[in-house]
Structure formats: structure tokens, C-alpha cells
Amino acid sequence: MFIDEARILVKAGDGGNGCLAFRREKYVPRGGPSGGDGGRGGDVVLVADEHQNTLLKFRFNPEHKAERGRHGEGSNRTGAEGQTIEVATPVGTVVYDEATGERLYDFTKPGERFTVACGGRGGKGNARYATATHQAPTEHQPGFPGEEKRLRLELKLLADVGLVGFPNAGKSTLISRISAAHPKIADYPFTTLEPSLGVAQLDGFRSFVVADIPGLIEGAHLGHGLGIQFLRHVERTRLLAHLVDVSEATGRDPVGDFEIVMRELASFSEELARKPMLVVATKMDAAQDAARVTALREMAGSRGLAFFEISSVTGKGVEELKRAIAERVLA
């Protein structure tokens, strides 16, 4: 199951209490206050892990609490520090403070670490308060509380190119042709219910990552179809490939389909709608009306967008498209 959003509670450990104690030993000439300090509480640290690819585990384990510090003891013994916990988080996760909406951190590389909650400081024992004029202090501090936060985690897949378009426009078929990914492919809308990634291999050990997201329909920003929540997964891409079905089977105008998807992209993010883009006419093997293809090509030309014609079934134009993508994302 692919989960790309989760809410969790993190609680750093409280500091240990300072100790109130006096040294009273026979034959020990120098007695007096001997209460040690409390130990510091453990931190909660989020660590980017490249082996994690979903936030599913946070749905079943939403609370992450570090160990509290031990209390101070007599004979000036300081309490042990609480153990810090490390929480593995998928690369591409954005961490938000749920209370304020502030973005706290964005994990973009494996191994990145972020201390999201700091442990409380241990309290002072009474030995800390001893002075020349105050030789038997009874003052001691309680430990300070560790930070507690409620967080919202949002996963954005890391990919070089994103495939966008209407449902059943051929996105899943294309990604299966240019990479080793095997998404579900069927002749009905919304076959793709969750984002998927594929790695396209090229000569010279070069490669790029392709993200396939569920299709968009008119009114997606209002929640129609599967909505636009999956568009976050193409926000990080360097290039968008806009696939448009030019076959007569849809009964729709290809140029109209293109405009609808562009409006939905803009409703999610103006920056996303302005990303570099290729226009790809798909299902050329089933295209009988050349005027539909011509109209789409002219529209792309008027916008200054590169235009490609492909058939993922026959393989026509697929390698050319693959090389064009590589030239743009691997330059």
C-alpha cells in the first residue's frame, strides 16, 4: 500500500531530576551536599533512508518517544542520559509542524539527519548550590521537559521526469516500455491508483527516473476523479511529459484535453504549470483522423513546446522520445 501523508507525535525525553543528598560517612573529613545532576533526555532524530519508499509504517506507529534522563544520585553521581531514537524516513519527505504549518525540513538526500525534538536538560543537584556561606543547601532542580510536537509528513517522490495527462492516456504503458516498471495496464480510466517510479536506462550507464501519477480530469482540483493530491509527486521533477490521447476512441478533442490538464496543474501550483514540458501524442497506431494530430502539433508549436508522436504498442517514436527526455534531464 502506498501512503504519502501521515501525522505523527514526537516526544523527546524529559531531563532527570537533580538529587538532594548529603555525605555523612565516618572517617571522611569533608562531608556536605553531594546531590548529583539529572541526566539529559534523549532526542528524536529523523533520518532519510533510501530503503523506505512509503509512509505506511507511520500509520500504524504514530508515536515516537525518546527515553528520559535518569535522576541524579548521591555521592555527586550524575544521572545517565536518555537514549536518543532515530526514526527512518523516506527520502523526499517534507516535515511540517501541524500546529503552525511551518515547514521544518525537506529530506532530499539519503543519510540526512534532522533533530526534530530536543531532550530536556537535567536538573541541578544540591551540590551545585554549595557556597562558602551556604554550606548545606537543600535547593535542587527538577528536570526540564523534552520537546513535544505533532508533525505532518508529506512524501514527494524524487524523479527526473513526470508523466501527466488524462486517465487512460497511455502513461502506464509508456513507463513500462522505457523502464523495468510493471504498473497495472487496462483499457479503462483510473487504472493507476497510486504513483509509481521507473528507471529508464541509456547507453554509457546513464539513466533517469520517471514518475507516473494517476490521471487528471476536469475539476480534479475540486476533488473530481482522484483529485490533484498526487501532483506533489511531480513537483520536484525537472521536466513534464504531457501525454495526450489522439485516437478517436475518447470522443474528446485532444487540444481540449491538453488545456484541461494545464488548468488543473495551474490550480495546484503555478510553478508546476510553468515547468519545462514535452507534448506527446499517444496511441498513434489507433489515430485515424490526421486533423486531430495536426491541431495538437500546431497548439504545441504556438506554445513553443516540443512535440512527439508515439505508439507504446508498436514502439513507434518511443526511443526518440526517450532520447529527447535524456537530453533535457541529463544535460
For 72-104, how does the pLDDT look when each residue is reduced to its tens digit (9 = 90+)? Answer: 999 899 999 999 999 999 999 999 999 999 999
Which pairing describes strands 5-11 and 44-49: parallel, antiparallel, or unpaired? unpaired
Which pairing describes strands 113-117 and 44-49: parallel, antiparallel, or unpaired? antiparallel
CA atoms within 13 A on the CB side of 199: 5
Q: What's the rounded Cα separation, in Å, for the pair 101 and 106?
A: 14
Residue 207, C-alpha cell as written in the block: 539513466
Q: Is 165 in contact with 216 (CB distance < 8 Å)? A: yes
Q: What's the rounded Cα separation, in Å, for the pair 67 and 130?
A: 30
Q: Which residues have C-beta within 8 Å of that of residue 79, sequence separation ≥ 6?
A: 16, 36, 37, 38, 39, 69, 70, 71, 72, 73, 122
Label residues 144-181 b or e (16+ Cβ within 10 Å = b): bbbbebebbbbbbbbbbbbbbbbbbbbbbbbbbbbbeb
Phi, psi of 201 (to 5 degrees): -95, 140
Fold of 161-329: Rossmann fold (3.40.50)
The pLDDT, as a whole number, for residue 42 is: 97
Across the chain, what does the average pLDDT equal?
A: 89
The pLDDT, as a whole number, for residue 191 is: 56
Q: Which CATH superfamily is domain 5-155 in?
A: GTP1/OBG domain (2.70.210.12)
Q: Which tens digits make up the pLDDT trace of 155-185? A: 988 889 999 999 888 888 899 898 876 765 5
CB neighbour class for 13 (10 Å; exposed up to 12, middle 13-18, buried from 19): buried
The full set of domain ranges for the chain reads: 5-155, 161-329
Which pairing describes strands 207-212 and 85-90: parallel, antiparallel, or unpaired? unpaired
Split the chain (331 residues) into runs of 10 and give each run's mean pLDDT. Answer: 86 97 81 93 96 89 96 95 96 95 95 97 96 92 97 91 89 88 58 75 86 78 66 89 90 91 90 93 89 94 95 92 92 72
Q: Is the pTM of this model over 0.85?
A: no
Q: Identify the CA nearest to 66 among candidates 42, 49, 89, 30.
A: 42
The pLDDT, as a whole number, for residue 331 is: 72
Phi, psi of 282 (to 5 degrees): -105, 170
Q: Identify the CA nearest to 46 among candidates 152, 137, 157, 141.
A: 152
Strands (E), 55-147: 63-65, 85-90, 93-97, 103-106, 113-117
Beta-bridge partners for 325: none
Q: Is 237 in contact with 162 (CB distance < 8 Å)? A: yes
Q: Which residues have C-beta within 8 Å of that of residue 156, sequence separation ≥ 6?
A: 4, 92, 93, 94, 232, 233, 235, 236
Neighbours of 82 (CB within 10 A): 27
Q: Is 281 in a helix, a strand, or coil?
A: strand
Residue 87, C-alpha cell as written in the block: 526514526
Q: Is 39 in contact with 122 (CB distance < 8 Å)? A: yes
